[in-house]
Chains A and B, each alone.
Chain A
Amino acid sequence: MTDEVRVPINADSDLVPARAQGRALAEGQGFSRTDATLIATAISEVARNIVVHVGRGEIVLRALDEPSRCGLEVVARDDGPGIRDVDAALGHGSSTGRGLGLGLPGARRLMDDFEVASAPGRGTTVTMVKWRVRDELELMRERRRRV
C-alpha cells in the first residue's frame, strides 16, 4: 500500500488541514485515537517550524506497512537557510533542554523515530515515524484473507 498525502505549508492556516490529514491517515492505519492525536500534534509542530522559520515548504504523509507492524511517516521539508547546529535545535546538551523553542523536542517525544537532516543553505528535512505493532488477531485475519 502506498498511501501518500502531500500538504503544502505556506501559511499558518495550512496547519489546520495538515493536522486533519494526519489524523485521518493515522486512523486509517489503525492507530488509536490517542496515538492519532499525538501524531497530529507532532505534525502541527513541524509544520509550524516551517511557517515560522522559513515561510514555505511541504509535509508528506505516508502509510508504512510491514509484516509485523504498520506506521505513519511524516516528512517535513523546506528549502530554507537550514539549521547550523541540529543537536542544539533538538535541545541536546543545553541546560534548559529546549533548543529551538519547544517544537522539535516535543515532536520527537510524541513520535517513535525522529531524524533531522539539515545543513546551512541546504534546507531542512525532518523525518518522523510512529509505529503500531500488529497483534496476533490482526495477522491471523490477514492470513485468512489471503488464503
Chain B
Amino acid sequence: MRPAVLSVLVLSVMTGGVFPLLLFAIGVVMFPYQTGGSLTVLRGAVIGSRLIGQDFTGPEWFQPRPSAAGNGYDGTASGGTNLAPSNPKLTEGASDFVGIRALAAEYRRRNGLSADTPIPIDAVTRSGSGLDPDISPSNAFLQVARVAKVRKLEEVAVRRLVAEHVVQPQLGFLGEPRVPVLELNLALVRLPQQAAVASQAVR
C-alpha cells in the first residue's frame, strides 16, 4: 500500500508541479513573446495573436477561411464542423449553416470572379480548429484585385505585399506554403504610411 499511495502523490507533485514550474521559469526567460501567446500589439493595444486566426469581413481586408469556432473565430471555442463529406448539410447548408456551395458563390461574388473560375478549396472549407490563421497563397492572390480597388492602391503593390508574406514550407519540406492573414492585413494598414514615407524621402 505504502509505495502505491506515496508514489502517486510524490510523482504527481514532481511531474504536475515541479516540471511545469521549471519549464515556466526557463521558458519565460528564454521566450517571453511566445509564452505570452505571440500577441500582436499596435500602438499599445493588443489587436490579436499572430498565431490565432480572426475574422475580417470588410471588403478592404484580406479575408480568412470560414470558421466553425463558436459564431466564427471565437478564441474560446475551437473546433470544426465535424460534418462528413457525405452529409448534404456540408455542401447545401441548412437554416443555421452556410454550405460550401453558397460559400463558393459568395466568394466569387465578392471577388468578382466568374462562375467557372477555379477557387482554392481552403477558401470555402472550415478548418479543424476554427482558428486557422492562414490562407493558401492562391486564395490570397484571388483577393488582391478587390482589396486594391477598395483601398485605392495599385494592384501591383498589393500583389507584391502578398508575395512578401507567403510563408514557405518549414525547412523546405514541412507543411504547405501559406499566407498569415492578420500579418498581411497589418502590413496593408502600414502600406500607405510606407508609401507616404517613401514619397517624402524622394521629395
Q: Do A and B come from one complex?
A: no
Binding site for B on A (CB under 8 A): none
Binding site for A on B (CB under 8 A): none
